[in-house]
Amino acid sequence: MCFIHPAATFSVHCTASCPATGGLQELEELQEHGAEARETPGETPRGSPLLSRVSPVTTTTMACFSYVALLVTLCCSGASAFHRRPRGFHSRSVPDELWSSTEQLVAMRGYECEVHTVRTPDGYELTLHRIPRAKATKAEDDYGRHGTPVLFAHGLASNSEMFALGPSAAYYLVDAGFDVWLVNYRGSFYGQKHVSLKPQSRAFWDFSWNENGLIDQPTFIDYILKTTGRPKLFTVGHSMGATTQVVMMSEMPEYAKEKVISSVLLAPGIYFRKPGGLMRVLDLIYGAYPQLKNSHTSLVLNGKMPLGDQDLLPVCFAGDQLRELCRGPMTMMMGPPHTPDYRTFQKLMAHYPNGGSIRQFMHYLQSTTSGGFRKYDFGPEKNQRLYGSLEPPSYNLSAIATPVHVFYGTGDYLTTPKNVVRFIKRCPTVQKVHAVPHFNHVDFITGDDYIVTELVNKKILEVFQSYL
């Protein structure tokens, strides 16, 4: 595991090992949970997951690899420098998108990209990437009612590049006449500046997705509305981006109702009761190493391997084909891909993960322990001081007053269908639910262009059109 020194340099020493006991039983439970999540009533599964076709020995080996890969990637990363080719990976057939910024990715698609900087009340300087409606035709512009703004919010340890890489709804909505804004939360690659704090300081990383939702999100919204002169906007959030939106809507219901027309949540990470996939792995690690509770502000996450200048791409890809070595762990963590587009997935791996606070991860892990959707647990003493109770309070989902539309994948091992339904039952303003057959957690970003457009992007456009 990761043992973080409190020194100013924040050296990180890592060792990794597989669970000494119970690993196979725990993985079998995970396999059963994942299979349950993938199947839907009246449907035949599209095929057994990789884990169900291997021997117990191989399964245990894969579990060990998953733990090691996860720890190395997330806990022991080197400098955040993914915008260049790593050593040992010089194939001329590799697309330039692997090493490009959001601005460059958008330009490659033939769109204009504006770069804006906003400052939060607590001093973080965050980047907003805007894709204005310049490419829209007059006929399509009518759908967007002359450029209604849409805020896109990224997931954990991610940034705005996730919506610029593949067939996301961002480009689709721009073509329909909307004014698209891609946010970058504090701690992301484009969110590592502060008026007084340095990223090397512990204080800089003292936040979870609670602060992303209560401080960053309204700061972005206010800036977008002021810049465009519009009274309201739409939001689209994937994974943690959906979490932050729900935090804001539940804690600031009047503000959200006044500023947000409607919110689309893709694979929303709200409840993690009996988690599967990556959350199950992290939950096991958290249970085995409770000392991680105290490391939440001192580790910067990014996308590089720790030994020299090595990237995950040469390990996982032969050309544009994903090696079996990485296919298994990826499937176990996220769920089997619907119609895998490994070229887009390769781009995703080149840009992910890149930056975030350990407290963001720990906040999710606390959700697996409590089974609820609660504020950050600082321990009884600090909880009493901050919240007036020994336990952290739950976010008040019943207070949400903004119309919500939910999209989730029936094959998602991370935000499982059961947990998404648990949220849907507790949110009073859910208007419509879209269960996307066989989608895993990242298919919304890396899936086949035609499939994502037909099953997701067109439906998001229909949702927005219904409010205009």
Q: What is the DSSP letter of 456?
A: I
Instruction: From first to last of the 468 residues of the chain, give the pLDDT tens digit.
Output: 333 332 222 223 333 333 333 333 333 343 344 334 333 333 333 333 333 333 333 443 344 444 444 444 434 333 343 444 544 455 555 566 667 889 999 999 899 999 999 999 999 999 999 999 865 555 555 555 679 999 999 999 889 998 998 778 999 999 999 999 999 999 998 999 999 999 888 889 999 999 999 999 999 999 999 999 999 999 999 999 999 999 999 999 999 999 999 999 999 999 998 876 667 777 777 677 666 655 544 344 443 333 333 455 565 655 556 666 666 666 666 666 766 656 666 666 666 667 788 889 889 989 988 999 999 999 999 999 999 999 999 999 999 999 999 999 999 988 999 999 999 999 999 999 999 999 998 888 877 888 999 999 999 999 999 999
Question: What pLDDT was estimated at residue 141?
Answer: 55
Catalytic residue numbers, as ranges:
239, 441
pLDDT of residue 193: 96
- C-alpha distances (whole Å) from 374 to each of 183, 185, 246, 247 are 24, 20, 12, 10
**pLDDT in the model for residue 363:** 93
pLDDT value of position 315 = 58
- At residue 407, the pLDDT reads 98
pLDDT of residue 69: 44
pLDDT value, residue 197: 94
3-class DSSP state for residue 292? Answer: helix
Indicate the SS3 state at residue 14: strand
Q: What would the two tokens of residue 219 be?
A: 């700061």
Per-residue pLDDT, 43: 37
Domain ranges, ordered by start, for the chain: 102-304+325-466
| Backbone CA torsion sign across 459, 461, 465, 468 | positive
Cα atoms in the Cβ-side hemisphere of radius 13 Å centred on 439: 24
Task: Give the sign of the dihedral formed by CA 164, CA 167, CA 169, CA 174.
Answer: positive
What pLDDT is attached to residue 435?
Answer: 97
Residue 318 is predicted with a pLDDT of 55
The percent of residues in the chain predicted with pLDDT above 90, rounded, is 49
Q: Are 176 and 143 in contact (CB under 8 A)?
A: yes
What would you report as the CA-atom Rg of the chain, rounded to the nearest whole angstrom?
21
What pLDDT sits at residue 68? 41
pLDDT at 17: 34
In terms of DSSP bridges, do strands 233-238 and 114-119 run parallel, antiparallel, or are they unpaired?
A: unpaired
3-state helix, strand, coil in the chain (%, to 5): 45, 15, 40
Q: Are strands 404-409 and 430-436 parallel, antiparallel or unpaired?
A: parallel
Task: Give the whole-angstrom CA distance, residue 309 versus residue 27.
Answer: 32
**Per-residue model confidence (pLDDT) at position 447:** 77
**Predicted TM-score (pTM) above 0.85:** no
CATH fold for the domain made of 102-304+325-466? Rossmann fold (3.40.50)
